[in-house]
Structure 1
Amino acid sequence: MILQGTGILTSFIHIISESLLAPVVIILVIFLVYAILSLGGFLNEWFTKKPLKSDALESLLQDVSKSTNPDELKEVIDSSALYKEQKDVLVKITNNYNLGPDARKAFASKLIEEEESNLLKLTSKTDILVRLGPIFGLLGTLIPLGPGLSALGTGDITTLAQSLTIAFDTTVTGLTIGAIGYVISKYRKQWYESDLTTTETVAEAILEKLNGF
């Protein structure tokens, strides 16, 4: 009786396992397409991204310190080599020059936190590829091995070959997805961390200057 119940359960699990192959393959294809599109965006960012060098940052901080009013501060920010997102944050801080020092500092911290959250959302998508790509690749490897081994027992070499082909293809696809996601996430996190540090540095200089107006 126990063996019969176990047999029913294992048969049920076997059916579920085989039924998962199609969804796993579909998800791998979706991940692969997204990874390729992300790679294209990453390469474009790689060739067009021009982070602010230390000399340029020093010059910007000097220009901020020489500003005599909020309007002049905004002109300095707008004419700088900062990215649009960085300029937007710094201009918002400058526009609220009428706030008290504590409120202005809290508002600046909130703006920078929001910008950091936006950047993390971009890297979190490729982080998903790093984690789930190899996992689904492994699922795509293991699922067809069951029917393949069964076919080997009956001498059906054709079915075994097809199962092994699917297994190897999904493994390679999953690892490729994970590798692409890892490279993109690694470099983008470095870039965005540097950008946030620059934004925070300029924001501090602006806050100090606004306190003196």
Structure 2
Amino acid sequence: MQRRLDSTRQIFSRYIMNVLIESLVFISSGLLIPCVALLFILLGDSLNKTFHSFRNHNKQLLQLDQVRHWIRDSREPSTFPLTALSDEFGEYSSALLAADNQALAIHLLAEFEAISEKKLASLNRLARLGPMTGLLGTLIPMGPALDGLANGDIARLAGQMQVAFTTTVIGLVIGGIGVVLVQRQAQISKRQLAALDYLCDTTPQKHSIK
């Protein structure tokens, strides 16, 4: 009687384990399509950000050079090159020049710093999500590929391995693009914040909060 009970328990345990494993395999296989779709979205986003970065990079460097020359040579608010600044940097530069107290200037500087951090966070997500999604796209097809190998289905094995390697490559490309864009944006943001910090320090302090 005890042997039958133990045997029944083992059979039931195996059945439950098989059900759980099959459920995990089903869920994992169902994640492949969203994973590939996310890779396409990330690839498009990375190419779009790359286009805008290369289009605006030289313009931003020129703006920063003009501000640097102004700081070195003139320092007169009336000669500040506002006409050459057309993005958020120009907007906050204009606001800092017009600020009549230190508290407002510090607030504007903090706002611009938050905008810069948001841009960097967006690029950091791209740099991290790309390889992570590529890794998911690599591991998910491995189960069907091994199943095809066990059953002698070479065509299925080859198809699943092709998906695995392709998603790996695309994910790494997205991550590499993200890393490069983060470095470029970090350099620009650092120089912009340094220029705005100088403008903040030159703001009149007669109404500042002590």
TM-score w.r.t. the length of structure 1 is: 0.83
- Equivalent position amino acid for 2:117 in 1: L
Q: Which position in structure 2 is the counterpart of 1:140?
A: 137
Deviation of 1:107 after TM superposition, in Å, equals: 1.1
2:154 paired with 1:157: yes
Query: Post-superposition shift, 1:96?
Result: 4.3
Give the deviation of 1:58 after TM superposition: 1.3
Q: Is the 8 A contact 1:77 1:91 kept in 2?
A: no
Partner of 1:195: 192
Equivalent position amino acid for 1:198 in 2: A
Q: Gapped runs of 5+ residues in structure 1?
A: 64-72, 98-103
Distance 2:49 2:169 in 1: 18
1:35 — aligned with what?
46
* Structure 2 gap segments, 5+ residues each: 1-11
Aligned-partner residue type, residue 180 of structure 1: I
**Deviates further, 37-46 or 200-209:** 200-209
Contact 2:82 2:90 in 1 (8 A): no
For residue 52 of structure 1, what is the aligned residue in structure 2?
65
Q: Matches of 1:94 and 1:30 in 2, distance apart?
A: 41
Residue 163 of structure 2 is matched in structure 1 by 166
The alignment yields a C-alpha RMSD, in angstroms, of: 2.2
What CA distance in whole angstroms lies between the structure 1 residues aligned with 2:90 and 2:203? 12
Calculate percent identity across the aligned residue pairs: 29
Please state how far the C-alpha of 1:47 moved relative to its aligned partner.
2.9
Checking the alignment, whether the CA contact within 8 Å between 2:99 and 2:203 is kept in structure 1 is no
Provide Cα deviations, 1:117-158, integer angstroms capped at 9, x if missing partner: 112222221111111110010000000010000000111000
Residue 15 of structure 2 corresponds to residue 18 of structure 1: no
SS in 2 for 1:207: coil
Name the counterpart of 2:174. 177
- Offset of residue 48 of structure 1: 2.5
Q: Distance in 2 between matches of 1:158 and 1:113?
A: 58
Q: Give the paired residue count.
A: 194
SS in 2 for 1:206: coil
The 1:79/1:12 distance shift into structure 2, 3 A limit, reads closer
Give the direction of change, closer, same or farther, for the CA distance of 1:6–1:94 in structure 2 (3 Å limit).
Answer: same
| Alpha-carbon distance in 2 for matches of 1:38, 1:91 | 26
Render the CA deviation track for 1:8-40: whole Å, top value 9, x for unaligned.
101100000000000000000000001011111
